[in-house]
Amino acid sequence: MEITLSYHTSYAINLGDPFRELREAGTNLIERCIDLSEKLEANWVTVHPGYKVSWPDQKSNRITYFNDSLNQLLRLAENYGVSIAVENLNRLLQSEIYYLGDCFSELDEIFASSKSKLLKMTLDFGHAHLNEGIDKYLIKYASRIVCTHIHDNAGIGIDEHLPLGKGKINWEETCMVIKEVNYSGPLCLEVYSDEGKVAGMRLLREYLAQNSGQT
């Protein structure tokens, strides 16, 4: 069995912060993560686009700030051969915090900001379910996805990280799309209990094995 190592950076680091000093501090922290990832022979570093506090207007400015940070990180990543995987975030309802990268238009702007072949994506299924839908994300970004975060939710604006089958995601249909786009990377269970992780992996294996000749 092949083992793939990656580095998942903190949600709290806001690479789209409007204050240059804070943005640079966050970028420097992730540069240290990239450096450590190279030493550990990790294949990619997952980063988050960041967030905006208060009103949702001017998110485009924050995307520009994030893209500046991202391109700085990619220059270091190119030296090491470590990919930078941007995670799609979830759209928050009735909140004073607005995540960047919570829709196709913002993600498209991020991915268009660099021609680096090391700019990849970590697809969070739970976040996608709260936005345009998992199947649409899988199809649209299939060529960029290097990792997935798997968990369930009720699809009503709350990122619950439920065990698979305890929310409203149709896992049988989702697994069909996984196979259709030929995704063969890691399926990382982001649920709280070990029992939920084991049960979730069994469920995924069952659905992925259907009509594929596997047992």
Q: Is residue 111 part of a domain?
A: yes
Q: Is residue 214 part of a domain?
A: no
Residue 92: its pLDDT value, please? 85
pTM for this prediction: 0.94
How many domains does the structure of the chain reveal?
1
Q: Is residue 1 part of a domain?
A: no
Q: Is residue 123 part of a domain?
A: yes
Confidence grade of residue 157 (pLDDT, cut at 50, 70, 90): confident
Q: Is residue 41 part of a domain?
A: yes
- Kindly report the CATH number assigned to the domain that includes residue 161: 3.20.20.150
DSSP secondary structure string, 11-60? TT--TT-SSHHHHHHHHHHHHHHHHHHHHHT-SEEEE---EEES-STTHH
Q: Is residue 180 part of a domain?
A: yes
> Residue 85: pLDDT above 80?
yes
Q: Is residue 215 part of a domain?
A: no
The pLDDT tens digits of the residues spanning 15-67 come to 999 999 999 999 999 999 999 999 999 999 999 999 998 766 668 889 999 99
Task: Tell me the average pLDDT across 201-215.
Answer: 82
Q: Is residue 129 part of a domain?
A: yes
What is the domain range of residue 74?
6-209
Residue 211: its pLDDT value, please? 61
